[in-house]
Amino acid sequence: MCGIAGYIVKSDRYRTDRELLKKMTDSMIHRGPDAEGQWTDGRVALGHRRLSIIDLDVQSNQPLFSHDEKYVIVFNGEIYNYIELKQELIERGAVFKTKSDTEVIMEAYRAYGAACFNRFNGMWAFALYDREKQVLILSRDRFGIKPLYTVDNEDVFTFASESKAITAAFPDENVPNETYIHRYLSYSVNEDTDGECFYKNVKVFSPAHYMIYDLQKHTKEYKRYWEVDEQRFYDKWIRGKNVVRAFKELFESAVELRLRADVEVGACLSGGLDSSAIVGCASKKFGRKMHTFSSVYTDKECNEEMYIRKVNEKWNTIPHYIKPDDYEDNFTKYVEDLTYHHDQPTGGASIYSQYMVMKGVQGNVKVVLDGQGADELFAGYIPYYSFYVEDLMNKNSFLAKCRAIRMLVIVKKEWPEESGCFSTNKIVSLVGLKNSFLFQNDGQAQGLKVKRKTKLFTDEFLDKVHDDYQDRSIKCASALNTKLCNDVLIRSIPALLHNEDGNSMAFSIESRVPFLDYRIVEFAIALDGKYKIRNQWTKWIIRKACKEYLPKEIARRKNKMGFPAPFDRWLREGSSRDEIREIIYAFGGRNIVPGETIDQYYKAHINREADFSSILFRFYSMELWLRRCDKVKITGQAGEVS
């Protein structure tokens, strides 16, 4: 896990400059405190910050050259199956000078060309330069676990693991993107696959793509190397197999691969099904004595300590309990810090909890496993029931329709506060029970009343918004799998992975996500909904396949929290409430959201008319990010030819 940066000079206005490149890499020292390197060659500049995880020897520092110096690479991430690939390449005659997975990338590209990307099981963003052909190849992993940003203008093409590396060297790119701010404040988006981000000219390099930049012609060619194919995935992973056994084997393999490291590996543990299964598998199957790291609050609605302790006791782990409440007096300072590391306002207060957990990891281990992705792959949230019910109602079967009605009753009984998730779904009309007790949702009326009275944006700000977002939704065979697939690839997981990377790398920690092993993702996309939701059980196949790794209290949990934070209470009575209030109201002076709108939301929350902590946090976080943008001084560009 590292930080990469670089640029290609396209005009006479710039030159390749090690100092400019160092400015980019220095801005990401947290991503790689163990080593640094810069290399320039005519019109190409490549820079690197290293966090040493595999092959700790200095010979694996980057930029790394191939044995014949034809290729040079800067790489962020891990190729978990590098040992198997290396043996395969040696049998084909490849020569290696290090024990690193980085060198495997270069030799795999030499042997297979762009076809090598589909051979990689891992997370990555890298730039590989072919010095003979004068071609630069950028590539990002299938799901965007590792970040990559670019700017392309008439003078330079530049890229980096973080936007701040680009704005550090090219401060003219420190321009907020009104369209993306509009999206964020409207519905809390903070990463998407249409390439937009919070900086107007900075683009997000698309997951599952590679780019070939020809320096002689100054042409770019983008290509997708992986895409959804339900039938192929089904034939590959499911057809003719016992699906529970098949999933268990894939899960165990994914965990085993992610335990590969030349440093100690720990795990984040929330007390939920997914992280508990990872800890149990690593402990029982692979005999690891795991360090675990958990967030614990005093608030009942945010406290999962009982479940966390069950896992730690069962597997005799080395537990670390982080109490974010202890740091609440400095809440704004830590949110300012995480805003810096994320290069953007953040989606919600729960990100603070994860940030503090990663702070607790620092100094104990350099790598942690995390359960990210399982909910979106295997229907871990109650609203997913509505899509599965829709699938059942669409079947030409009286029995299936009876099962659908039964599931609606179960949801109303088990999770009455969640039953409103069905009210806007088209299955309501299919079932024909719109006005029945199943769809009464008493808890939202107050909040909706307040929202309808408010004007969220000023007219002046809306004039700057030009949102031509194109719907890139993926269609699968069922409503449930369509929803899950889009949440994994477009709507939910990209933002969560951004948070995972930002929080972990802030403390020089590598975070690995076994459930986003591409084999598990392909398996899940092709898996029938009945293995995901069964009666009152979400993520049924995980519960079934991993039961030996789970305390029974967790295997049978029906609720979930994740990494919550009591921001709603902190707004009213926390020790930082006055400071938070000042920042929220200061945002009203930005001429983005009317001050009276902010006042209405804030007072309604304080007076307990409704819970508006989510949108108030967005106002708060946006103001902190804009203050950071204000501090970047545009003084000219260090690499410009004078």
Q: DSSP string spanning 517-580?
A: -HHHHHHHHHS-GGGT-BTTBSSHHHHHHTGGGS-HHHHT-----SS---HHHHHHHSTTHHHH
Which residue has 């007096």 as its token pair?
329
Angle, helices 82-91/101-112, rounded to nearest 10 degrees: 50
- Model confidence at 422, pLDDT cuts 50, 70, 90, reads low
Pick from 46, 21, 41: which is nearest to 131 by CA? 41
Percentage helix, strand, coil for the chain under 3-state DSSP, each rounded to 5: 50, 15, 35
Which 3 state secondary structure label does DSSP give 513?
coil
What is the arithmetic mean of pLDDT over 167-194? 85
Tell me which amino acid residue 136 is.
Answer: L
Lowest mean pLDDT segment, chosen from 79-93, 217-231, 547-561, 605-619:
547-561
What is the arithmetic mean of pLDDT over 233-261? 98
Instruction: Evaluate whether 575 touches 569 at the Cβ level (below 8 Å).
Output: no
Predicted local distance difference test score (pLDDT) of residue 563: 59
Q: Is the peptide bond before 63 cis (omega within 30 degrees of 0)?
A: yes
Element (H, E) at 512: strand 510-512
The DSSP result for 359-398, as a single string, is HHHTTT-SEEE--TTHHHHHT-STTHHHHHHHHHHHSS-H
What is the rounded end-to-end Cα distance, in angstroms, of the chain?
A: 36
Q: Which residue has the higher pLDDT, 403 or 639?
A: 403
Predicted local distance difference test score (pLDDT) of residue 364: 97
What is the arithmetic mean of pLDDT over 402-419? 80
Tell me which amino acid residue 562 is.
Answer: G
Predicted local distance difference test score (pLDDT) of residue 11: 86
- Model confidence at 420, pLDDT cuts 50, 70, 90, reads low
- SS3 letters for 292-336? EEEECCCCHHHCCHHHHHHHHHHHCCEEEEECHHHHHHHHHHHHH
pLDDT tens readout for residues 37-86: 999 998 999 999 999 999 999 999 999 999 999 999 999 999 999 999 99
Instruction: Evaluate whether 381 touches 519 at the Cβ level (below 8 Å).
Output: no
Domains of the chain: 2-224 (3.60.20.10), 230-378+486-555 (3.40.50.620)
Q: Is the pLDDT of residue 323 over 80?
A: yes
Tell me 640's DSSP state: B
Percent of the chain with pLDDT over 70: 90
What is the arithmetic mean of pLDDT over 464-478? 85
Predicted local distance difference test score (pLDDT) of residue 445: 34
Active-site residues: which are they?
Answer: 2
Predicted local distance difference test score (pLDDT) of residue 130: 98
Element (H, E) at 126: strand 122-130
Strand partners, 130: 71, 135
Q: Which residue has the higher pLDDT, 635 or 323?
A: 323
Q: Which residue has the higher pLDDT, 449 or 362?
A: 362
Predicted local distance difference test score (pLDDT) of residue 278: 98
The CA distance from 125 to 139, in Å, is 6
> Is the Cα torsion angle 470, 616, 440, 485 positive or negative in sign?
positive
Q: Is the pLDDT of residue 327 over 90?
A: no
Predicted local distance difference test score (pLDDT) of residue 418: 66
Predicted local distance difference test score (pLDDT) of residue 601: 96
Number of Cβ within a 10 Å radius of residue 198: 25
Which residue has 């020292």 as its token pair?
29
Q: Which residue has the higher pLDDT, 299 or 124?
A: 124
- Model confidence at 581, pLDDT cuts 50, 70, 90, reads very high
* Pairing assessment for the beta strands 203-204 and 64-65 based on DSSP bridges: unpaired
What is the arithmetic mean of pLDDT over 120-137? 98
Q: What does pLDDT average to over the chain?
A: 90
- Model confidence at 439, pLDDT cuts 50, 70, 90, reads very low
Pick from 217, 193, 196, 221: which is nearest to 207 by CA? 193
What is the arithmetic mean of pLDDT over 363-388? 95
Instruction: Evaluate whether 271 touches 311 at the Cβ level (below 8 Å).
Output: yes
Which 3 state secondary structure label does DSSP give 158?
strand
The dihedral over CA atoms of 6, 10, 16, 20, expressed in degrees to the nearest 10, equals: -60
Instruction: Evaluate whether 563 touches 598 at the Cβ level (below 8 Å).
Output: no
Radius of gyration of the chain (CA): 25
Which residue has 């947290």 as its token pair?
30
Instruction: Evaluate whether 108 touches 120 at the Cβ level (below 8 Å).
Output: yes
∠ CA 428-439-407, nearest 5°, is: 70
Residue 464, phi then psi, degrees to nearest 5? -95, -5
Number of Cβ within a 10 Å radius of residue 19: 10
* Pairing assessment for the beta strands 203-204 and 209-214 based on DSSP bridges: unpaired
Predicted local distance difference test score (pLDDT) of residue 435: 35
∠ CA 51-512-302, nearest 5°, is: 115
pLDDT tens readout for residues 343-367: 999 888 888 889 999 999 999 999 9
Q: Is the pLDDT of residue 635 over 90?
A: no
Predicted local distance difference test score (pLDDT) of residue 350: 83
Pick from 63, 9, 21, 30: which is nearest to 169 by CA? 21
Strand partners, 40: 45
Q: Is the pLDDT of residue 639 over 60?
A: no
Predicted local distance difference test score (pLDDT) of residue 275: 97
Percent of the chain with pLDDT over 90: 76
Q: Is the pLDDT of residue 564 over 80?
A: no
Instruction: Evaluate whether 557 touches 272 at the Cβ level (below 8 Å).
Output: yes
∠ CA 293-297-301, nearest 5°, is: 120
* Pairing assessment for the beta strands 291-295 and 265-268 based on DSSP bridges: parallel
Q: Which residue has the higher pLDDT, 116 or 399?
A: 116
- Model confidence at 516, pLDDT cuts 50, 70, 90, reads very high
pLDDT tens readout for residues 333-346: 999 999 999 999 98
Predicted local distance difference test score (pLDDT) of residue 434: 35
Predicted local distance difference test score (pLDDT) of residue 453: 55
pLDDT tens readout for residues 22-32: 999 999 999 99
Q: Is the pLDDT of residue 470 over 90?
A: no
Q: Is the pLDDT of residue 636 over 60?
A: no
The residues, ordered by sequence, that sit 6+ positions from 115 with a Cβ below 8 Å of its Cβ are none
The CA distance from 490 to 51, in Å, is 29
What is the arithmetic mean of pLDDT over 92-118? 98
Instruction: Evaluate whether 124 touches 146 at the Cβ level (below 8 Å).
Output: yes
Q: Is the pLDDT of residue 559 over 60?
A: yes
Q: Is the pLDDT of residue 114 over 60?
A: yes
